[in-house]
Chains A and B, each alone.
Chain A
């Protein structure tokens, strides 16, 4: 947060604490607007005004409040909760209110998070090499790009005129080395453009219009790209009980999704998991550029034991950062793990405020907050004429794995892609344990043209074939549960066999295998064609009178399950198809 730099001890706006109850503090005589950032108590703990009633202002405090007593001062900054936007956001790790965790470690001199320590979101002293893209005399509007700096090896950071400027003629601009607070350009109306902008987190950044997304966000996960794709600028929810693989799926997306920028928000999750991300990402390669993955990533880590109010704000911090890079014309993917923890933070604060609860104790505004968040995603035409997107993928952790609870239900009403994680599949070690019967993607049709153009003409046909087989399997399994597999007619037994290969070779994917972890769409397609070859040949053989046992014991068929781990998959699939055809035709 930048507020540390301009704290004003203006006695007119400061008040005194009246009561303290966990993260909720009330203050008397504080002259504050809603959502102003305030500093609470002798230690100056950061908080935000969330309710004003007469002379009493209620504040949610982003830090631990043990020992804070009534009578201590509260100082208003007069500014809403904002993030610092500028070069230095990528490759950084923040807490929920954009304090860089590495800086906090140095400042606190301890591995434990102390209180009352503040740090700006981007380093104020780093010098960046600024390259102008406009010249003196050019007219610039709000949002326009006036130059670039190389933020990381992967990403050129576009320096833009802030959206709340008036704009005008550039009177001075030059290349050189600047820190983020120095003016890189001056306009004729006296406005000075610096690399650093501030933006209030709860307010969406402006855009011209939201468009229909038509490009898929390729994730390298077969079941997602193949059956339930998400668009660039789309929204998705991943609900699932604990242990069903939400976090692994989110990590896979963060690693392999073909977005330009990844914003990963660890909201109320495990400390060790965030550490894994912090340790892994700098070492992993961005599949798109070969550079370190962190060069395109910004991490927000507000673990479950960090203050609950900061958990409430971390989602907003994340989406604001995402919008900033969208404004530069980038495709941004935001992962929020988990939105349930966010909703619970709202519930906790709400109950401390003694608000009238809605369903299951959640505040009545839960649905509104969730939809406001997901609506900030989309494929946008920016105010500077570029196009950019924010895709939002939220994990949901329904209590007891019951999808009828309020957070899941309210999320499903908004998002267009639903990846339902399933505990039964996870127990059978079917990973990713996404249930293909329950999941859906409403983007399928609008993305098909892209797949047809870029991957293969029959993308939608073969997908439908696979879905039909899997549907049929689900029905047949019910019968099998009653009478056993051998009681089924031969053709149905064969369908089950084909479906088994679809499940094992296509739907299952090993996130921990170096090759299988990322599956390009072409490979996703080829696995289906190999399975379909088996299907077609096998049914021909059956028609020709070959007993189903013989068809099932064809030796080359189980190799379908090994396509995933092949590096040279095209040749492998080619050979495999020939082998399958040859062997089965040899039976009759």
Chain B
């Protein structure tokens, strides 16, 4: 392996070096600083004579005499089932003082696209135990469903609740494939990291988890690698070892900041708000690594978390994410300040794969109708709230008042459940029917008449009297 001492330029996270042999695009590089430190990097651009290298750990300490070694291969991650229970840093080095990892195989972290023809359409309901998700925006295996949050909101609590409670009801009975969590942290604070780790340890989830930690004070460039390590591990566990893998990536906003930093250092033509023009493709190459494959037992389900700068969902990061992922779950500041746990706002939230994952034989026959009706009713109630502020409740018709009450009850009884309550889908739907039954039957125009007959809770004369007393 040839060593070069030919660095010509150092700028931000980038190093340019002259070479006299062809160097492959994306190839790994090691740079030894005069102080004896070894830094790792990757070839970003390769041309005759000059290569641009992005250095994961940052370029501080590198001078023009630093020696550069090209490793002749792209970044690979050693994978094995023994990764379960291990904690790694953002570039895949173990930091938990555990035994040495003996790899089964070394996998390219870039990951090839799954042939759409080989995919299997996701339609297995995952019960998260959270009504606002199960009832209104159902998650299915192989889906990528991000959490759109913002600073100061409890998205981590929700992610942890999902990681703890997620089950597939049928599999519990049949003893299907095992469940594993891959956690990829990008630029989160030590405190947040502790919160996750403590919860994993407390619930014993760590044994079936693989953790990659890039903390806020770790090099930003390393963040571009962390999610790829996490997803490579997830794909290995899912498609080679038959695990059902839930991948939690947090915080995608930090990942995108790192992309922007590299783009700026390379003097690329910036796209919207300075983010690189290829950010859509780049994010797609992460998010699309979720799914199921025909003939393989496992699955990769992704829950990326992102914090929207300024609570603005038209910001490029949530915007591009929303166009790639199969829906989104919104954490709502107003609901949060009302003390609702988890503060999920179902109106802008969406699960695109819901329709195929619910219904008879999957959840319950009335699920889709109930969800649609509750949506419409809550939306109507929400709309009326603005009006109430202007004209007062008395000016509204009886029908309008019913909808206002519905919206209040919906928040208090359906969304509100606490982070430790695990509701089955049956419980979720019966709460739904209790709420819908506060509306007259004729208003339930999205529910099939048959289900109204079966599930509508008639106002019982006796109970009415009891409450009247």
Contacts and interface: CB of A to CB of B under 8 A. Distances in A.
Interface of A: 17-22, 26, 28, 64-72, 93, 101-102, 104-105, 108, 111-114, 241-243, 266, 268, 270-276, 278-279, 301, 303-306, 308, 341, 344-345, 347-348, 351, 354, 357, 360-361, 397, 399-402, 423, 426-429, 480-487, 504, 512, 555, 558, 561-562
Most buried by B among A108, A111, A266, A351: A111
7 contacts: A19-B46, A20-B46, A26-B47, A272-B291, A273-B326, A304-B281, A304-B284
Given A21-B25, A348-B278, 10 more contacts: A67-B24, A114-B112, A242-B319, A242-B323, A243-B350, A271-B116, A303-B116, A354-B269, A429-B379, A484-B396
B116 A66 contact: no
Contacts of A105: 115, 117-118
Contact of B25 (A67, A273, A487, A561): A67
Contacts of B108: 66
B327 interface: yes
B174 interface: no
Nearest to A426: B350
Given A111-B118, A112-B113, A347 B271 contact: yes
Contacts of B23: 69-70
B386 interface: yes
Given A348-B278, A484-B395, A113 B25 contact: no
A133 B24 CA distance: 56
Residue picked from A105, A351, A401, most chain B C-beta under 10 Å: A351
> Which of A241, A272, A402 has the most chain B CB atoms closer than 10 A to its own CB?
A272
Contacts, number: 229
B113 A243 contact: no
A271 B120 CA distance: 10
Nearest to B284: A304
Contacts of A428: 375-376, 379-380
B114 interface: yes
Contacts of B204: none
B93 to A, nearest CB: 22
Contacts of B285: 305
B74 interface: yes
Contacts of B322: 241-243
Contact of A275 (B46, B113, B120, B327): B120
B314 A243 contact: no
Contact of A112 (B25, B26, B114, B387): B114
B327 A243 contact: yes
Contacts of A275: 116-117, 119-121, 291
A101 B288 contact: no
A274 B113 CA distance: 13
Given A243-B328, A304-B324, A111 B115 contact: yes
A279 B314 contact: no
A346 to B, nearest CB: 10
A101 B324 contact: no
B194 to A, nearest CB: 33
A308 B368 CA distance: 37
B468 interface: no
Given A271-B288, A308-B281, A18 B122 contact: no
Contact of B368 (A18, A354, A487, A512): A512
A522 B46 CA distance: 63
A21 B116 contact: no
B364 interface: no
A271 B291 contact: yes
A345 B396 CA distance: 52
Contacts of A17: 22
B144 to A, nearest CB: 8
Nearest to B239: A111
Nearest to B325: A270
A533 to B, nearest CB: 19
Interface in B139-168: 142-143
A399 B44 CA distance: 28
A272 B277 contact: no
Nearest to B122: A272
A256 B387 CA distance: 41
Contacts of A28: 48
A113 to B, nearest CB: 5
Contacts of B376: 428-429
Contact of A93 (B45, B116, B278, B280): B116
A42 to B, nearest CB: 11
A69 B46 contact: yes
B314 A93 contact: no
B84 interface: no
B27 interface: yes
A426 B379 CA distance: 10
B142 A272 contact: yes
Contacts of A357: 269
Nearest to A103: B117
What 4 pairs across the A-B complex have the smallest Cβ distances? A400-B314, A19-B47, A304-B284, A111-B118
B47 A18 contact: yes
Interface in B360-391: 368, 372, 375-376, 379-380, 386-387, 390-391
A93 B115 CA distance: 11
B113 A305 contact: yes
B339 to A, nearest CB: 24
Contact of B24 (A68, A113, A278, A341): A68
Given A21-B25, A105-B115, A305-B284, A111 B293 contact: yes
Contacts of B112: 64, 112-114
Contacts of A26: 47
A66 B278 contact: no
A351 B356 CA distance: 39
B119 A271 contact: yes
Contact of A274 (B24, B116, B142): B116
Contacts of B203: none
B247 to A, nearest CB: 15
A306 B117 CA distance: 13
A487 B396 CA distance: 10
Interface string B345-365: 001101011011000000000
Nearest to A347: B277
Nearest to A21: B45
A427 B114 contact: no
Contacts of A345: 281
Nearest to A338: B323
A484 B116 contact: no
A354 B270 CA distance: 11
A188 to B, nearest CB: 44
A105 B120 CA distance: 14
A485 B47 CA distance: 70
B442 interface: yes
Given A270-B324, A429-B375, A361 B270 contact: yes
A556 to B, nearest CB: 11
B106 interface: no
A26 B25 CA distance: 13
B316 interface: yes
Contacts of A72: 22
Nearest to B295: A111
Contacts of A273: 326, 352
